[in-house]
Amino acid sequence: MAVTAMTGRFPGASTVAEFWDNLLQGTESITLTGTTESDHVPAYGILPGADEFDAEFFGYSPEEALIIDPQQRLLLECAHEALERAGHGGPERLTTGVFVGGSSTDHAAKVRERLPSMAESKVRLGSDLDYLSSRIAYKLGLSGPAMTVLTACSSSLVAVHLAVQSLLSGDCALAIAGGASVLVDVPRMRYDPDGIFSRHGRCRPFDANGDGTVGASAVGVVVLRPLTEAHADGDHIHAVIRGTAVNNDGRAKIGFTAPSVSGQAAAIRAAHLVAGVDAGEIGYVETHGTATAMGDPIEIAALTRAFRDSTDGVGYCRIGSVKSNIGHADAAAGVVGLIKTVLCVEHAMLPASLHFERPNPEIDFGSSPFVVNTRTQPWAGSPRIAGVNAIGIGGTNAHAVIAQAPPPRPTSSAPSPQLLVLSARTEQALDRLARLLAEQVADQDLADVAWTLQTGRTHHAVRRYVVAASVAEAVSALRGETHAAPDDLVALGDRWVAGEPVDFTALHAGHQRRRARVPTYPFERRPHTM
């Protein structure tokens, strides 16, 4: 399956690009909460703008927006953004499924406390996790399966697995998959020596001083499509999901919340078999990596057991954990790890896993295939193949195998004037969209940009167009300069601005186009705080 788009909101980063830059810089985006209580966890991965939402864009009144849980609001925005980023946000949509995981929050309790006269049915519609996926399907007009997944920390990677299975079965032609875990108020988490959270507020995966993880809020979404169709249709392909697997530990562990070597190893081994890869080909694994005394040794033991089915190699596969950067995003943790791994594969870079100094003495790295990646470095060699691990409390394990994308399909176009169409719900949003496009259009094929804007975006009521024969001309036109333009394109643009139906595909007859990486809708987000 091709990964054709990724969006998200992360501690310290409001976009995937910012998230990747933070990873490359070795940034820790965990905030000390200032608590002086020794029995409380003193840090959290805070999500900037968690209470903000463009309610009007999605047809909600401010009062309605208040009732909706922020994680539902942010996931809805990210799903819309992902669909546009994939180039499939236009009026002619593929049958699209929605598969997302979510976390329990205190939002419903806040609504009941502050709006005591609110009907309970409305409170539940705004907060219950049942509606996390179906709200997206309803608001975006998506008619494939819509499923909410609840397997604790592995929820979003299990959602990706279900999306892959749905695409394989033909239930949908395109899939949105991911998850969210969002708390607007920084939680006061009491330290539990038998729990997963660090007393010191720092996540040190696989380190001798590791004492647990730190909580975090995050949202992550990927768009998936069968590889042959995505490639033939000119979709941008970040990487390829070669195989996924999901299972449960059953009773093969010491307790309900404990992890299991045999359970995890079986899921990893199954994913390798589905992907058709030898463990010796895998150069990186994004681990679950919570830095707990029990979890880290069991995870490495499970990975080693699975790898030993097909390799005797030692110290060749690098591992890391994004939890050292942002904390543990609960139901969104799996997709956050997936997004990081796809970026690693796409850009041939391995960001450092932070805070590793001395190995946990319970982990035998010396005889394992693994070494902690302690510095940001290029990923040498090809093909680049990676694994992503997610482990849910309660025993549901998920693993995915990620590989490089094939070279993009060649385009066929000669320089010629192109009609670039832009639309929004407000003049302010349209002005911002034009500025963003002027900043991002460089180094792209102008015909691909025109095609993506014409066919891959919803056409809103407030409209504008420019005609340009080169990228430089497009940039100046987007910034307000006027240029001579062919009469036929001007007439077509005028018809479109007037709201008349236009068949843009006729402009590209006989040409192969690729979906360009152009700006998505610039939401006008405002606080909606309960």
Q: What is the pLDDT of residue 6?
A: 99
For residue 87, give the nearest of 451, 512, 509 by alpha carbon: 451
The H-assigned helical ranges of 149-253 are 155-169, 227-232
Q: Which residue has the tokens 């050292």?
A: 324
Q: What is the pLDDT of residue 190?
A: 83
CATH homologous superfamily of domain 2-403? Thiolase/Chalcone synthase (3.40.47.10)
Give average pLDDT by consecutive 10-residue segment, the chain, 530 residues. Answer: 99 98 98 81 95 98 97 99 97 95 95 95 96 98 98 99 99 99 89 90 97 97 99 97 99 96 99 98 99 97 98 98 99 99 99 98 98 98 96 98 93 83 98 97 94 96 97 95 90 97 91 94 96
d(CA 329, CA 44): 10
Cβ contacts of 87 within 8 Å, gap of 6 or more: 4, 5, 235, 236, 452, 455, 456, 515, 516
Q: What is the pLDDT of residue 254?
A: 95
Per-state percent for the chain, helix, strand, coil, to nearest 5: 35, 20, 45
Q: What is the pLDDT of residue 413?
A: 66
d(CA 356, CA 148): 35
Total-model pTM? 0.97
Go through 168-190 and write b for each residue having 16 or more CB atoms within 10 A of its CB, e for each that does not: eeeebbbbbbbbbbbbbebeebe
Domains 2-403 and 418-513 share a fold: no
| CA 128 from centroid of its chain's CA atoms | 22
Burial class (CB in 10 A: 0-12, 13-18, 19+), 230: buried
Q: What is the pLDDT of residue 59?
A: 98
d(CA 251, CA 398): 17
Give the distance between the most distant pair of CA atoms in the chain: 75
Three-state SS at 440? helix
For residue 81, give the nearest of 14, 21, 160 by alpha carbon: 14
d(CA 134, CA 136): 5
> Domain-by-domain residue ranges, the chain?
2-403, 418-513
Vertex 313: Cα angle to 310 and 315 (nearest 5): 135
d(CA 452, CA 443): 15
d(CA 28, CA 21): 12
* CATH 3.40.50.620 at 418-513, yes or no: no
